[in-house]
Amino acid sequence: MTKQDRELLTRWLETPMEDEDLTRELLAVRNDEKEVHERFYQSLEFGTAGLRGELGAGTNRMNIHTVRQATQGFAAFLKSRNPHPSMAIAYDSRIKSELFARETASVMAANGVKVYLYKELMPTPALSFAVLDRGCDGGVMITASHNPARYNGYKAYDRDGAQISGEVAAAVSENIDRTDIFDDILRVDFDKALAEGTIEYIGEDLIERYFSAVMAEALRPELCREAGFKLVYTPLNGAGRRSVLEVLSRIGVTDVTVVPEQEMPDGNFPTCPYPNPEILEAMQLGLALTEKLGADLLLATDPDSDRVGTAVLMDGKPRLISGNEMGVLLLDYICRSRIELGKMPERPVAVKSFVSTTMADEVARRYGVEMRSVLTGFKYIGEQIALLEEEGHPERYLFGFEESYGYLAGGYVRDKDAVVGSMLICEMAAWYKKQGMTLGEAMDALYREYGYYHNKVDSYAFAGSDGMEKMAALMDSLHKEPMTAIAGRPVTSCADYLSGIRVEEGRETPTGLPTANVIEYRLGETGSVIVRPSGTEPKLKLYYSLKAEDKEAGAALYERCKAAMLERLGL
């Protein structure tokens, strides 16, 4: 235990804790040097994703004090741009989410910020919608997305409805650093502020406008009524239940069975310790129910309902549809439908994260759609929507997606939206059902047309207080000594997004994207390997996008490339 650890522990123990859980925790660990160090060796970093961390006592944990401190810093930033700012706040089902939302509202109101707060838990995209609908200067969503139950987070949004930029995050972080976690916090009694109108609950009228905006993106809303569609849905004990079921009912999806163990909000996530629709374990109950009922489709939304996972039955057995596959399926369906319905705009644009499958580029090219690739983070897709609006042509935007199960059609929000994603997936599945095909069979047909693409994301966690340092050292080694070959295949192009330089055939050119700690290796027609550290946790991600003759060849190529990467990284 360092001197700083001891001093901070003493101060926290001597400060009256309004949340008694924090006092109990500190008393329980005060003689455990390692546990004390983990709670106090640093403060949670405020970045473009806001705050995210384990729940608990200390500067390195999510609690009412770190939330208040972040909010005080965010409020100061908002007031530096507008003397009379406003703010929208939403929260999901996680442990203490509602408490943190109320604390955020109380601090904002005390700082002269008008607050619009959802009265019930709502999806993250509904927060983005409220920011835009009310013309707010910022927003906060209390969620840790798909992290395990012991985590919570504080997503910060700017006035454009997207998550804050690096410049805004840096300015807010400076304010936070100047704010004493106990002494410099302004707060007002929540109920008093509510009575006075400085905090205002968001009403059903705004929620209805959100639902209407989602519904406006339906292309063939009558299909689900005609197809006799049977759905299994799980909100994974999160915030999606009301919104997803409401919108689906409006397009005629009425034969819905919700996974009973995962239907109601529960931040403990008792049946899925890692409530992420990308993870097979989180989908198991839904898969079993889909198989039992012979349903056409399984949908699973993550706790804050901005991402949606999917599975279908093929030969009586469930098949998971990956995020890349669903992005390709939706892009193809939207383009096909708009052309057939006479609704394709001139010079249409689709957007994807640059770590997503290059198969989408081929699909876009076939339909005459411009595909724009951007950095990871849906705010960059939102930026492209905003650019089209500034040019006076918002109708050019068709669809955006990330391989991590995030989709958005329409510019009514600036974040991925599992509600519109769920609606369009059901509509598309109903369309294919009328053709006698499942979504799995539809994907296989696209593979036959475009070639097989093996896309895989591997994550490697670095535990402990030195985890981030270990990960940073690995990335530093790649920046200094880039690889020239992977699994016997020469690297034809190496893009270092930290320096902003791409090297190809000995020539250096700008990457054309903002600075990011990412390395991209292209292997000619074989595909690419991208190395990227997570921005919110000590986790290194490797993205493989490899083209092969068929599934078996793709899997074998992936294994060879993976072995080469692990050897180079010493993992």
Active-site annotation, residues:
145
Residue 364 Cα to chain centre, angstroms: 23
Which residue shows structure tokens 């442990």? 95
| Rounded distance between C-alpha atoms, residue 497 and residue 507, angstroms | 16
First to last CA, the chain: 30
The number of beta carbons lying within 10 Å of the beta carbon of residue 482 is 14
Residue 95 and residue 152 in contact, taking contact as beta carbons nearer than 8 Å: yes
| Rounded distance between C-alpha atoms, residue 363 and residue 443, angstroms | 12
What residue type is 283 in one-letter code?
Answer: M
| Rounded distance between C-alpha atoms, residue 313 and residue 253, angstroms | 18
List phi, psi (to 5°) of 250. -70, -25
- Indicate the DSSP class of residue 488: T
Residue 399 and residue 331 in contact, taking contact as beta carbons nearer than 8 Å: yes
- Closest to 530 measured CA to CA, from 371, 322, 405, 353: 353
CA atoms within 13 A on the CB side of 230: 10
Containing H/E element for 54? strand 51-54
| Rounded distance between C-alpha atoms, residue 282 and residue 302, angstroms | 10
Contacts of 201 (CB under 8 A, 6+ apart): 116, 117, 118, 119, 194
Radius of gyration of the chain (CA): 24
- Indicate the DSSP class of residue 261: G
